[in-house]
Amino acid sequence: MAAQPLPGHLYKYQGVRDYCFENLAKSQAWYSTPLNLDDPYDCNIRIKVNKINRPEMVLLYEHYKPPLGKKGKTYKDDPQQFWESLLNDPAFNEKFITPVLQAAEHELEARRKKWSRERGVACFSARPDILLMWSHYAMGHAGFCLEYDTSDLPFLNARPVRYRNKIPAINALDLIAANPATLDLLLLTKGMEWKYQQEWRIFSQKGNQPVEYVPECLSGIYFGLKLEPGYKEQLYRLGGPQTAFYQMEKSEDEYKIIARRIERGEGVQSK
């Protein structure tokens, strides 16, 4: 599958909560741990091992064997020869493979759980006009949506989420080999019910904390249909000179909302 090009802008739907305004004022985005995401399947894909071939058997030996400095019982002067002899011993391989594959699954499941507790993820959308996103993540259209220019960090590192009907299973051997495509399957796969989000993700080494971005990346702020004037006033103050402002409005003949460009200060009563 061809790589999906990074959009010129990404969008973050927000509610009118104190921490949302605080993060905006500090030019930072909040990175949750995967355990705090709203999809129970998120980053929680099955790990299993299928029947393996010869190269994968070699990989397992290399991963689990003791350091070569330890001497084997058969080839005391050549530990490497000892392990290679085991690879050619069908009887030993038969005894070796089942417990080692079980150990691989357990090890990688523990690693996945640790990652889910510790790593950080920030979620964005490719569009600012998704009705359900406004309903679910912007307090029923009473919130706002932030637009970020993706030409600078951390937005340059955003990755698209793929949507599937069935839960994929990850091969533990691919994870041992650090296959990037397998890691993507774990971190960037969701069920088809979530496709409406058009989600992109950015990852950090540590979760449940904010990560700063270049202030000039805040290229736009969209006001929800029901956003109160007092909050609009706050957002006008928090936007930089490069920030454009938009008012979401209902279409007259379709079930969709449209962003109308507005001047700074519009929709706020003068005192």
DSSP for residue 38: S
pLDDT of residue 68: 47
pLDDT value at 269 more than 90: no
**Cβ density class 36-66: b for 16+ within 10 Å, e for less:** ebeeeebbebebebeebeeebbebbbeeeee
The encoded tokens of residue 163 equal 């949507």
Verdict on whether the full-model pTM lies above 0.85:
no
Judge whether 151 and 6 are in contact, CB under 8 Å: no
> H-helix or E-strand containing 120?
strand 120-125
Closest C-alpha among 31, 28, 4, 13 to residue 217: 28
Closest C-alpha among 248, 16, 256, 4 to residue 126: 4
Residue-by-residue DSSP string for 8-34: SEEEEEE-S-HHHHHHHHTTEEEEB-G
> H-helix or E-strand containing 270?
none
Closest C-alpha among 108, 85, 110, 120 to residue 177: 108
pLDDT of residue 207: 82
The encoded tokens of residue 208 equal 């449940």
254-268: per-residue pLDDT in tens?
999 999 999 999 988
Q: Residue 164: helix, strand or coil by DSSP?
A: strand
Length of the chain: 271
Displacement of CA 54 from its chain's centroid (Å): 34
Alpha helices in the chain (DSSP H): 18-25, 54-64, 79-87, 90-118, 131-137, 172-176, 180-187, 229-238
Contacts of 142 (CB under 8 A, 6+ apart): 15, 16, 224, 226, 227, 228
pLDDT of residue 271: 45
44-79: per-residue pLDDT in tens?
766 666 666 667 777 766 666 655 444 445 445 565
Higher pLDDT, 35 or 151: 151
pLDDT band of residue 115 (cuts 50, 70, 90) is confident
**Cβ density class 135-165: b for 16+ within 10 Å, e for less:** eebbbebbbbbbbbbbeeebbeebbbbebee
pLDDT of residue 12: 98
The mean predicted confidence, pLDDT, of the chain is 83
* The amino acid at 65: K
Mean pLDDT (whole number) for 182-197:
85
